[in-house]
Amino acid sequence: MKSIWAEEYDIVIIGSGFAGLSAAIEAGKVCPSVIVLEKMPVPGGNSSISGGLFAAAGSPLQARERIMDSPELMLSDMLAAGLELNNKELARIVAEKSTETLLWTIKELGVKYKPRLSHLGGHSVARTYNTANTSGSGIIKPMLAKCRDMGIPIRLRTYLSQFILTKGGEMEGVAVRENYIFPNRESGVLKRIRARRAVILATGGFSEDKEFRVIQDPKLTEDIESTNHQGATAEGLIAALKAGATPVQLSLIQLGPWASRDEEGFGVGSMFSMLAGFPYGILIDVRTGRRFINEQADRKLLVDAMLSSGRESIAIVDQKGGQHASTLDQCLKRGVVKKFESIEELAAANNVPLAPLKETIDVYNSLIEKGREDMFGKPLPMDLLPISHPPYYSIRLISKVHHCMGGVQINAEAQVVHIETHQPISRFYAAGEVTGGVHGASRLGSNAIPECITFGRIAGKNAAAQKPRT
Amino acid sequence: MGIHEATREIRKSENRIFQEWLCDVHDSGYHGRVSVDRKYFSMMLDTVAAAMETADENLTRSRFDSSAEWDFPGLHIIKESGITLEAFLAGFKVMIRCIERVILHSDATRLRMRNIADAMELAVVAEWENFRPAGLSLHPEPIQGPESPTTPEKILSAIFFSVGEGILLVDQDFEILKTNPRACEIYGLLEQNLIGTDIRTLTDESGAGTLTLFFEKLIEGQRLSAEITGLYVDGKSFPSTVTVSRSDLDGKRYWPIIVQDDTEQKILEKQLRQEKQQTEEMNLTLKTVLKSIEQDKKDFENRVATKIRTSVLPGIHKISKSSHDNVSRSYLSLLEQQLLSLTKGFENELHGGLLKLTRTEIEICRLIQAGCSTKDICNAMRISYETVQTHRKNIRKKLDLTGRKLNLHTFLMNRSL
């Protein structure tokens, strides 16, 4: 009888972002034949356009700067932001392995990070590394180079159309469309690829899948932009659900409060707000000229406050604060961030009532100078400076869909759990944004990369440890 | 406070009133529909102040009931900005409230201004549809992000996106401003990553040098091409051809760059080169072979010529001179041997015996050579079977094949008759 399988590999990985490539690298150390399938014509997906922020508890930079931190503290931050909807077991793994994973990217991949930590909203302490080029491509590129060295092929334009299970319910392989042209689901040629050891699902989130996300969260209508690349759609997740995976918290979809109104997608403005605008500046309501929230709150709280009663928000920072954002020049060049010599000019250009704005800045500055507590609860570290050094910068903000906390359920071994039996589906693993539960109601900024790489590696190692079927 | 005093006060406090107005407009929920432009605000305030200045101290509402006397400079400009009547009235009413809040404390003046404002409002409502837009317009700042593109822009970007070669638009800082999907594929980077990237990071040092040189010396409208090394996202290098041109827009320089991935072309070129080399080698070999054949031919000709000169010609000479049959015969047989020996080494070596065959026998030999059986030969030559057999026997004898296990057909195969 002629085989239905056109090709056979030890391990078949779907998706070429952080999770997929980490899994490929770990699996490739053990198995001679690993293949990564990617539906887009370019590898790296959303990971390559992310901000390259990596949270690690107990890292070398924290030791150098004498910042007290621990996986326990990181976990409690995750649970607080996640409103305890997190899968604690999985969240703990991310926190505990965060530093080990960070060091792996440095030692094994040669990733370059900036020599300074950032303190992101919702984190108790500064624990965020940032890649030297302020982009996830700073990690994706070394990962792709490693795969090339190891001879692991990344097959582009190859779209997962369905999973194929054995009669006994084991994952056996995938049906794909080769030479697929995104987003035409009828394009390409059908082909079946068998996995001798296992299949790993690493297809990311669905923030750009407007049809699917509005089903999960009706508030996220079509006119709401996302920070994701256009390939961040739900087909991988849906294929897994059809194969018996358990959906978890699919309606928990995060918006990013820091995105710019004056550019598409994630752009360059998001990192300006995250690295300068929020920690070193203030967030005000254009209508009133006043602050309304702790700028360093977690994303969900910020977005909820920004969207309530039709607020229109801008972030303001001065020269001292602005220099913390390495993307400042690009922001100015693209008109995403505007520069003003005085607060008066800034107010006029943004149509902000001047008097209350000035008062707001004065009050904020005096809090810093006198070391008082902020009424919104913003942490005011010792090195924070008052907003008083021209030029002043402003960025117009709008919330954009950013991350899907929900996805398929996995266990601590990154095995996909079956919806009926609650047992792992044999030879089927998943990692990264396509999985659900790690972050609960809200993912803290810079926690996605440690999650993707940690579980990607776990999935890769465990998949490779499977005995090959005959 | 008299009405004229109040009017002066209004003009003096314009800034404060504007700030109040701005807050109230936001709060009213009209934000986004009412233009919050300062020019627009000043125009409205000015109109109200002007109306108050010229108003009779005993002004009553009725005077303004007639729209014919109405004058609202700049209303057509406001209307042309695309604002709705409802939104205009909202902004206007909010302004009146703000004026009241900021400066008017006496009930009398307040009432007076209200009367004027009400009259103005009524008149605007009555006249709204009659105001014809003039050339001027206010441009309220769009509240939503970038404006949606026009059709020509859409067509342009559709072309840009469908071009089969990679396109990168680069600015003075070597930064990529615009790109198309093909360029993304060539470098393995998403558009979001490619935009803002320094073009020099997509090639090696010498490629960067070439591009820098091009940027320096290109004049507008000129186009230059070069083969440079490209770098894929995973660090793999590939051959590429870049065609750089320059276009100056709004006093700034831009360099549109067309990129071709030459990997496949280079492979084909290499194959072609290899094939060419092989052909050349073959050519050389053939030439050598030809030369040696030529040499062989010459040698052979020399040999034949020498033999004829030294052996055959003297033999013929001797025969022509001799009168004795015996001597002639022995010379003839000698000559025969000499001639036969000349064909030695030929593919169809002459056989001495063949010369002895009679005409009939030669004809039979030809038929045998052609693959005819004895029966065929009988039919063809109209002779009896026995006769053919006799002939065959004689032929074998003459060819010295008697008693040898050699088929006549096989023997004749390589001989010319």
CB neighbour class for A221 (10 Å; exposed up to 12, middle 13-18, buried from 19): exposed
Which CATH code, of 3.40.50.2300, 3.90.700.10, 1.10.10.10, 3.30.565.10, is assigned to A258-398?
Answer: 3.90.700.10
Residue B170 pLDDT: 93
Do residues A247 and A416 lie in contact, with contact meaning Cβ atoms separated by under 8 Å?
A: no
Contacts of A348 in chain B (CB under 8 A): 38
Query: Confidence class of residue B141 from pLDDT cuts 50, 70 and 90?
Result: very low
Q: How far is CA A300 from the centre of its chain?
A: 14
Q: Tell me, what amino acid is at A44?
A: G
Query: Confidence class of residue B117 from pLDDT cuts 50, 70 and 90?
Result: confident
- Listed in order, the ranges of chain A carrying CATH 3.50.50.60 are 7-253+402-464
Q: What percent of chain B has pLDDT over 90?
A: 27
Residue B327 pLDDT: 77
How many whole angstroms separate alpha carbon B350 and alpha carbon B360?
19
Residue with the bigger pLDDT between A244 and B140: it is: A244
Tell me the CB-side half-sphere exposure of residue A389, using CA atoms within 13 A.
Answer: 11
Does A391 sit behind a cis peptide bond, omega within 30 degrees of 0 on the bond before it? yes
Contacts of B144 in chain A (CB under 8 A): 261
Q: Hey, of A149, A260, A351, which one would you mutate to test binding to chain B, going by the most B CBs within 10 A of its CB?
A: A351
ipTM: 0.90
| Interchain proximity B188–A330, CB inside 8 Å | no
| Interchain proximity B189–A48, CB inside 8 Å | yes
How far separated are the first and last CA of chain A, in Å rounded?
16
Strand order of the β-sheet with A290-291 is A290-291, A282-285, A313-318, A392-396, A337-340
In 3D space, the residue among A226, A207, A329, A327 whose CA is nearest the CA of residue A271 turns out to be: A327
CB neighbour class for A119 (10 Å; exposed up to 12, middle 13-18, buried from 19): middle
Contacts of A137 in chain B (CB under 8 A): 189, 193, 233
Give, as one character, the DSSP assignment of residue A4: S
Contacts of B28 in chain A (CB under 8 A): none
| Interchain proximity B146–A354, CB inside 8 Å | no
Q: Which two three-digit tokens encode residue A371?
A: 């070391």
Query: Confidence class of residue B11 from pLDDT cuts 50, 70 and 90?
Result: confident
Contacts of A135 in chain B (CB under 8 A): 193
Residue A78 pLDDT: 97
In 3D space, the residue among A401, A457, A428, A23 whose CA is nearest the CA of residue A232 turns out to be: A401
Our CA-based measurement puts residue A343 at a distance from the nearest CA of chain B, in whole angstroms, of 15
| Interchain proximity A135–B29, CB inside 8 Å | no
Over the Cα atoms of chain B, what is R_g?
A: 57
Q: Hey, of B39, B147, B193, B194, which one would you mutate to test binding to chain A, going by the most A CBs within 10 A of its CB?
A: B193
Residue with the bigger pLDDT between B324 and A6: it is: A6
Query: Confidence class of residue B138 from pLDDT cuts 50, 70 and 90?
Result: very low
CB-CB neighbours of A284 under 10 Å: 26
Alpha helices per DSSP H over A108-136: none
The residues that bridge with A11 in the sheet, in sequence order, are A34, A198
pTM for the model: 0.72
Do residues B221 and B246 lie in contact, with contact meaning Cβ atoms separated by under 8 Å?
A: yes
Query: Confidence class of residue B55 from pLDDT cuts 50, 70 and 90?
Result: low
CB-CB neighbours of A375 under 10 Å: 10
Do residues B257 and B243 lie in contact, with contact meaning Cβ atoms separated by under 8 Å?
A: yes
pLDDT in tens, chain A (470 residues): 568 999 999 999 999 999 999 999 999 999 989 999 999 999 999 999 999 999 999 999 999 999 999 999 999 999 999 999 999 999 999 999 999 999 999 999 999 999 999 999 999 999 999 999 999 999 999 999 999 999 999 999 999 999 999 999 999 999 999 999 999 988 999 999 999 999 999 999 999 999 999 999 999 999 999 999 999 999 999 999 999 999 999 999 999 999 999 999 999 999 999 999 999 999 999 989 999 999 999 999 999 999 886 789 999 999 999 999 989 999 999 999 999 999 999 999 999 999 999 999 999 999 999 988 899 999 988 889 999 999 999 999 999 999 999 999 999 999 999 999 999 999 999 999 999 999 999 999 999 999 999 999 999 999 999 999 97
Q: Tell me, what amino acid is at B92?
A: F
User: Number of residue pairs across A and B with CB atoms under 8 Å?
Assistant: 86
| Interchain proximity A144–B234, CB inside 8 Å | yes
Q: What percent of chain B has pLDDT over 70?
A: 83
For residue B61, pLDDT beyond 70: no
Query: Confidence class of residue B71 from pLDDT cuts 50, 70 and 90?
Result: low
Do residues A363 and A319 lie in contact, with contact meaning Cβ atoms separated by under 8 Å?
A: no
Do residues B92 and B44 lie in contact, with contact meaning Cβ atoms separated by under 8 Å?
A: yes
Residue B268, classed as helix, strand or coil, is helix
A299 counts as catalytic: yes
How many whole angstroms separate alpha carbon A369 and alpha carbon A400?
34
How many whole angstroms separate alpha carbon B417 and alpha carbon B407?
17
For residue B59, pLDDT beyond 70: no
Strand-pair category, A400-404 with A415-417: unpaired
pLDDT digits (tens, 9 = 90+) for B247-264: 888 888 899 999 999 999
Q: Report which secondary-structure segment, H or E, holds A425.
A: strand A424-430
How many whole angstroms separate alpha carbon A138 and alpha carbon A136?
5
Least confident range from B18-22, B65-69, B246-250, B276-280: namely B65-69
Query: Which one from A196, A213, A299, A427 is the annotated catalytic residue?
Result: A299
Which CATH code, of 3.30.70.60, 3.50.50.60, 3.40.50.300, 3.40.50.150, is assigned to A7-253+402-464?
Answer: 3.50.50.60
Question: CA quadruple A105, A108, A112, A117: dihedral positive or negative?
Answer: positive
Residue B130 pLDDT: 64
Question: Roughly what angle, to the nearest 10 degrees, separates helices B38-54 and B85-102?
Answer: 70
Does B239 sit behind a cis peptide bond, omega within 30 degrees of 0 on the bond before it? no
Q: Which two three-digit tokens encode residue B31?
A: 């934000």
Virtual torsion, Cα B192, B194, B198, B199, nearest 10 deg: -160
Domains and CATH numbers, chain B: 3-130 (no CATH), 151-261 (3.30.450.20), 273-342 (no CATH), 348-413 (1.10.10.10)
| Interchain proximity A265–B192, CB inside 8 Å | yes
Q: Which residues on chain B place their C-beta less than 8 Å from a C-beta of chain A?
A: 19-20, 22-23, 26-27, 29, 31, 36, 38, 141, 143-146, 173, 175, 181, 184-185, 188-190, 192-193, 196, 233-236
In 3D space, the residue among B125, B127, B118, B58 whose CA is nearest the CA of residue B93 turns out to be: B118
Virtual torsion, Cα A238, A239, A244, A250, nearest 10 deg: -20
Q: Which two three-digit tokens encode residue B235?
A: 């660090």
For residue B223, pLDDT beyond 60: yes
Residue B16 pLDDT: 86
Our CA-based measurement puts residue A42 at a distance from the nearest CA of chain B, in whole angstroms, of 5
Ranges of beta strands (E only) in B215-343 are 223-231, 237-245, 247-249, 252-261
How many whole angstroms separate alpha carbon B284 and alpha carbon B282?
5
Do residues A441 and A392 lie in contact, with contact meaning Cβ atoms separated by under 8 Å?
A: no
Do residues A318 and A390 lie in contact, with contact meaning Cβ atoms separated by under 8 Å?
A: yes
Residue with the bigger pLDDT between B70 and B179: it is: B179
Mean pLDDT computed over every residue of chain B: 80
Over the Cα atoms of chain A, what is R_g?
A: 23
What backbone torsions phi and psi does residue B8 show, to the nearest 5 degrees?
Answer: -60, -40
For residue B64, pLDDT beyond 60: no
